[in-house]
Structure 1
Amino acid sequence: AQPGDVRVIDQDGNGQIDNRDNVFITTDPDWYGSINSTMSFKGFDLFVDVFIVQGVTKLNSVLANGELWKGAINGIRSKYYTPEFPSADYPRPKPDTHLHLFPFAVRDASYVRLRTVTLGYTFPSEMTNNIGISNLNLYFTGTNLITSTDFRSYSPEQDLVNGNSTVFPETRNLTFGLKLGF
């Protein structure tokens, strides 16, 4: 081992790093939940849904599959160990480092997400009845607008347990709509 190498712990103390040194974790969160609210005032209506996941541990695919070693184009854009930067959080790049990255890549994936916001306005019937419309509502809905997490990868919801290492982040959707009633 050299300065900047990944440190792997010999869990069973037999002097070898092998499968008996594995430590198994669960990817189930300690708790999760949603807080939502609907408010209305003078024709405006607002719906907000915040989703919270806490105490979840996941394998960070960016760290586990060696993406870190691509330098400035890596997904987390972090500095790794060099003699000039010895206090880095990430080990030095070397060809066989990825063999021991899985323990290094296990990270807290807790997050808080603004999952849904809908803002709408319903026009008063006095305005719409004159043109033959009984109900007119304009609205905007946004999903997955903001995610707050320390999990520095593509998505804190990624699921590598099923062997899917090509997980993409959840899409952000913006929808503008018009509801008409006759």
Structure 2
Amino acid sequence: VIPLLPVEEQTKQNEWYGSVSRFNKGFIEDVEKWLLDLEFFKKTMSAPAIAALSEQMNECLVLPQSDTVATQMKTMFSIWQIIYIFCSSSTCQQMLQRKHELEEEEERLRKKKEQIDLQTKIAVSMAKVNVYRAAISEPSVHLEMSESRKKSDKLSSSNVIATASVQANAPVESRSVSNSTRDVD
């Protein structure tokens, strides 16, 4: 039917339908939320408490004939409003309690992490101290090693010097020999 209408009328109809649809969706969401809260209320309340509340509601429903329907509706609305507030506040209270538990757990884990970090730093420092102590407490081992190195260095250097002097003397002698032979000629 809408495609047969003029463009302006189509836009008006679409806007009206959209607003009605949004209102209905909001109403349906509110009712679903209310039903969930009511189920939660039934689960959290004990049977005697529900029975007592039902009796109070029945007493409120039985009003004198002089009261109008509007007054009765206000009373019923107030009762359901109280139930809704109770349910939402208990849910809120449980969520806050859970939030506090999580915050406490976060704090505990943060402290544990700091403690582990501190223990790690202490272990690293102790390892460094042990290395320094080992270096200081065993100088004889290091001294012996350095002395043996010096001895081996001296031996190798004396061998190099002796070899070098032998090599240096050999050509000199041959030169002197060759010079002496030249003199003879």
Normalised by the length of structure 1, the TM-score is: 0.16
Normalised by the length of structure 2, the TM-score is: 0.16
Query: Could you say which structure has the higher helix fraction?
Result: 2
Query: Could you say which structure has the higher strand fraction?
Result: 1
More RCO (CA 8 Å, sep 6+): 1
